[in-house]
């Protein structure tokens, strides 16, 4: 038997053994329980959680410890400019706010997390733009930077927090301006996975058991939601097998090199299944924008005579991960001009009671399609292989289309 086959068999056996153990001791371990399954974890919810931890006056009662550790672990560039020493010496005076409305005329922009610290004549301001799911908007980061300047902060700090992009979209801040911020140490890019080190450091310094357990649950949530790690025990067990010797390392690389190809072949199968099973005549199924694994690849339900948008299934992350489903417009201007954008979200929220319907600049109404984790879990890929995924996508697309059509949301 080949080394690759041996590796797959050993991993499969180890995973089955772990699953059996978890089932046997589930009452003691509660492996699937996580506080964050019962907490609002949309963009606003995550902003509130992070702001509460960063606040020196927060109910965690650890004073400025968490904020100081955040700067040390996540914003090391803060220490590279001598002019910020006054802020670092008076960090306990920092005030933290969520959803701060900007002063820009006719703008509804809100800074997700805003930190300010006044020490004598010096004023320091940090804007954390939290982007767990939504897309960037036109001039968004530029407006926030200008807002910090307007508020009298002589050394504004912009922190862009997301997981998958190396830089913000150029529509939010042009590359030349961004380079200027970076050169002045006024910009930091931060991934959600980067927060793990900070949160673990907070656990070490935390003197309260309840708060420490909350931090542990938050770490577990980030690992699952943004890093695709469902179970660290399983992950570590598989890693031990892979690292066993040179042969298993070589075999694991060979397996890894075929995973992307396997996913693309299964997506190709999904496209064939969708086209074969779609029987609707009041819209056209378009799968031409799906197949390479690029971010924002999508399946469209094109509505004849309706040229401003379409019902859409789209992968929010690259490599076929984190799909969303809803109504998408051809542009933010088209969405803004449509008189039914608010109605679309309202009627879907009313009918789809098992979904949390959100909205963004180009998506008047969308929700996160289950299963969400196509990167770290096999569930979605097994559904494609078993001919179940096409039915699920078509059923949900049909339902969204019907609700919007029955409520006259497609009237032009």
Model pLDDT for residues 299-327, shown as the tens digit of each residue: 999 998 898 999 999 998 888 988 999 99
Whether residue 294 is contained in a domain is answered as yes
What dihedral do alpha carbons 36, 42, 48, 53 form, nearest 10°? 50
Residues 174 and 300 in one domain: no
Provide the residue range defining the domain that includes 86. 38-192
Q: In the listed set 158, 192, 226, which residue is the last one of a domain according to the structure?
A: 192
284 in the same domain as 377? yes
Residue 103 or residue 16, greater confidence: 103
The verdict on residue 315 lying in a domain is yes
Quick one: 188 and 263 in the same domain?
no
Q: In the prediction, which pLDDT does 259 show?
A: 78
- For residue 16, pLDDT over 70 is answered with no
Q: Do 266 and 140 share a domain, yes or no?
A: no
Q: Do 107 and 184 belong together in one domain? A: yes
The answer to whether residue 197 scores a pLDDT higher than 70 is yes
Residue where a domain terminates, one of 176, 192, 208: 192
Q: State how beta strands 110-119 and 284-286 pair.
A: unpaired
pLDDT in tens, 212-239: 999 999 998 888 888 776 655 656 666 6
Q: How large is the average pLDDT for residues 150-161?
A: 91
Residues 6 or more apart in contact with residue 208 via CB below 8 angstroms: 60, 61, 62
Domain count, the chain: 2
Task: Based on the fold, state whether residues 158 and 269 are members of the same structural domain.
Answer: no
Whether the pLDDT of residue 128 is over 60: the answer is yes
Q: Are residues 188 and 43 located together in one domain of the fold?
A: yes
More confident residue, 378 or 25: 378
Q: Is residue 198 part of a domain?
A: no
The order of strands in the sheet holding 157-162 is 95-101, 110-119, 122-130, 157-162, 187-191
Q: How far from 128 is each of 46, 55, 114, 190, 268, CA to CA, in Å?
A: 12, 13, 6, 10, 39
pLDDT score for 120: 83
- Is 1 a residue whose pLDDT tops 50? no
- Please list, in sequence order, all residues whose beta carbon lies within 8 angstroms of the beta carbon of residue 169, skipping any fewer than 6 positions away: 135, 136
Question: Token digits for 401?
Answer: 């289309």
Give the tens place of pLDDT for each residue, 345-355: 999 989 998 88
Task: Confirm if 205 and 69 have CB atoms less than 8 A apart.
Answer: yes
Same domain, 46 and 158: yes
pLDDT value at residue 355: 84
Mean pLDDT of the chain: 85
Rounded to an integer, what distance in angstroms lies between the CA atom of residue 90 and that of residue 221? 32
Same-domain check for residues 188 and 272: no
Q: Are residues 65 and 175 in the same domain?
A: yes
pLDDT band at 158 (very low <50, low <70, confident <90, very high): very high
166 or 357, greater pLDDT: 357
Confidence label for 31 from pLDDT (cuts 50, 70 and 90)? low
- Of the three residues 174, 192, 210, the one that is the final residue of a domain is 192
pTM for this prediction? 0.59
Supply the pLDDT for residue 398: 93
Residue-level pLDDT at 263: 92
Whether 203 maps to a domain, the answer reads: no
Do 208 and 59 touch, CB atoms closer than 8 A? no
Q: Give the residue with greater pLDDT, 287 vs 104.
A: 287
**Residue 119 backbone dihedrals phi, psi, to 5 degrees:** -130, 100
In a domain, 207, yes or no: no
Q: Mark 54-83 as b/e (b = at least 16 C-beta within 10 Å).
A: bbbebebebebbbbbbbbebbbebbeeeee
Domain-embedded: residue 223: no
Q: Based on the domain organization, do 51 and 148 belong to the same domain? A: yes
Q: Given this model, what pLDDT does residue 81 score?
A: 72
- Examine residue 245 and state whether it is found in any structural domain, yes or no: no
Tokens 């039914």 found at = 340
pLDDT of 248 reads 61
Q: Is residue 215 part of a domain?
A: no
Same domain? For 144 and 268 the reply is no
Chain segment 243-283, per-residue pLDDT in tens: 677 766 666 666 667 778 889 999 999 999 999 999 877 88
């Amino acid at each position: 038997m080949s080394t690759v086959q041996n590796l797959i068999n050993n991993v499969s056996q180890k995973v089955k053994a772990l699953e059996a153990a978890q089932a046997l001791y589930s009452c003691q371990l509660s492996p699937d329980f996580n506080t964050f399954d019962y907490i609002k974890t949309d963009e606003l919810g995550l902003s509130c959680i992070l702001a509460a931890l960063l606040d020196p006056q927060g109910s965690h009662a650890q004073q400025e410890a968490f904020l100081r550790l955040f700067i040390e672990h996540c914003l090391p560039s803060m220490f590279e400019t001598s002019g910020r020493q006054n802020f670092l010496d008076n960090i306990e005076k920092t005030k933290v706010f969520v959803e701060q409305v900007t002063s820009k005329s006719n703008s509804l922009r809100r800074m997700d997390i805003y930190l300010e610290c006044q020490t004598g004549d010096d004023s320091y301001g940090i804007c954390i733009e939290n982007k767990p799911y939504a897309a960037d908007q036109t001039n968004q980061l530029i407006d926030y930077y200008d807002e910090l300047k307007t508020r009298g902060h002589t050394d504004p700090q912009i922190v862009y927090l997301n997981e998958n992009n190396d830089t913000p979209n150029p529509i939010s801040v042009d590359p030349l301006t961004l380079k200027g911020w970076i050169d002045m140490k006024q910009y930091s890019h931060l991934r959600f996975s980067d927060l793990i080190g900070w949160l673990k450091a907070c656990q070490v310094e935390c003197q309260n058991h309840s708060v420490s357990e909350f931090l542990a649950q938050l770490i577990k949530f980030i690992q699952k939601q943004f890093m695709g790690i469902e179970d660290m025990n399983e992950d570590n067990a598989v890693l031990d097998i892979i690292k066993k010797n040179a042969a298993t390392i070589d075999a694991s690389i060979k397996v890894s090199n075929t995973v992307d190809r396997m996913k693309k072949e299964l997506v190709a199968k999904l496209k064939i299944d969708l086209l074969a099973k779609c029987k609707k005549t009041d819209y056209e199924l378009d799968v031409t924008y799906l197949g390479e694994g690029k971010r924002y690849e999508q399946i469209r339900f094109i509505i004849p005579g309706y040229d401003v948008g379409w019902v859409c299934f789209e992968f929010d992350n690259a490599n076929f991960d984190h799909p969303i489903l809803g109504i998408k417009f051809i542009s933010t201007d088209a969405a803004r001009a449509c008189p039914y954008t608010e109605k679309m979200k309202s009627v879907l929220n009313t009918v789809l009671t098992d979904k949390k319907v959100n909205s963004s600049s180009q998506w008047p109404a969308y929700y996160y399609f289950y299963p969400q984790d196509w990167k770290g879990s096999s569930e979605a890929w097994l559904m494609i292989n078993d001919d179940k995924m096409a039915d699920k996508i078509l059923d949900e697309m049909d339902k969204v289309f019907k609700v919007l059509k029955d409520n006259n949301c497609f009237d032009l």
